Chains A and B, each alone.
Chain A
Amino acid sequence: AQKVTQAQTEISVVEKEDVTLDCVYETRDTTYYLFWYKQPPSGELVFLIRRNSFDEQNEISGRYSWNFQKSTSSFNFTITASQVVDSAVYFCALSEAARDDKIIFGKGTRLHILP
């Protein structure tokens, strides 16, 4: 069955601290995509990254980095030197592209960056 688990419901850190958001997924397929989205209070889902199942290279984009480990079915997201503007709900998601286009989301992690 397809499933995305974000065990951390809510995290609070002080500004400039590093924070890691955990994501564990389940899928029977060998071809799939993993995503992270950010949802600020405005409600719009902001795309952060898409990673296909054949690319296990870690990625860094500015203060954001992602660690994809197929062996543990995890796709964790780290924000370095956090800022107040990073406060939002973050969703990890999965799509089994060979099966259909729907994106399966986790329940999200609400991140509070305290000044």
Chain B
Amino acid sequence: DAGVTQSPTHLIKTRGQQVTLRCSPKSGHDTVSWYQQALGQGPQFIFQYYEEEERQRGNFPDRFSGHQFPNYSSELNVNALLLGDSALYLCASSFGTGNTEAFFGQGTRLTVV
């Protein structure tokens, strides 16, 4: 049983560019949440997708957007990249809403130069 998988594992982008990160949830899970973890910090909630809709959003600008597909996989898009967007981006999956039993992927390390 595959857990949460994220791609790519590492990515280097130039300031101002756009990036798309991908996440496949654990089998049987239908809810995907995205977190940003800056170096030396704890993860911070970006947003959550359920039934292909953004259900909750943290304190992140509109440059951060997402999508969930009918197969429950999800993408995180970041436009107009800033140096401060450099971080580990973690995807977590769970079943339904109101369920905090989330499983995390290994993350995508994004470096903006």
- A5-23 Cβ-contact flags toward B at 8 Å (1 or 0): 0000000000000000000
For B107, give the chain A residue with the smallest CB separation: A43
Q: A101-B48, A101-B94 are in contact. Are A91 and B109 (CB under 8 A)?
A: no
Write the B39-54 contact mask toward A (1 if CB under 8 angstroms, else 0). Answer: 0111111001000000
Tell me the minimal C-beta distance from B34 to chain A in angstroms: 10
Residue numbers in A under 8 Å from B107 (CB-CB): 43-44
Contact surface of B with A, Cβ cutoff 8 Å:
31, 33, 35, 40-45, 48, 55-56, 58, 88, 90, 92, 94, 97-107, 109
Does the CB pair A91–B42 fall under 8 Å? yes
B33 touches A101 (CB 8 A): yes
Total A-B residue contacts, Cβ distance less than 8 Å: 66
Task: Flag the segment in A58-66, A68-76, A80-88, A104-112 that touches B.
Answer: A104-112
A–B pairs, 25, beta carbons within 8 Å: A4-B42, A43-B107, A43-B109, A44-B104, A44-B106, A44-B107, A45-B43, A45-B90, A47-B102, A91-B43, A97-B98, A97-B100, A101-B33, A101-B94, A102-B33, A102-B56, A103-B33, A103-B35, A103-B43, A103-B45, A103-B92, A103-B102, A105-B44, A108-B40, A108-B42
Smallest CB separation, A52 vs chain B (Å): 9
- Bound form: Cα–Cα A37–B56 in Å: 22
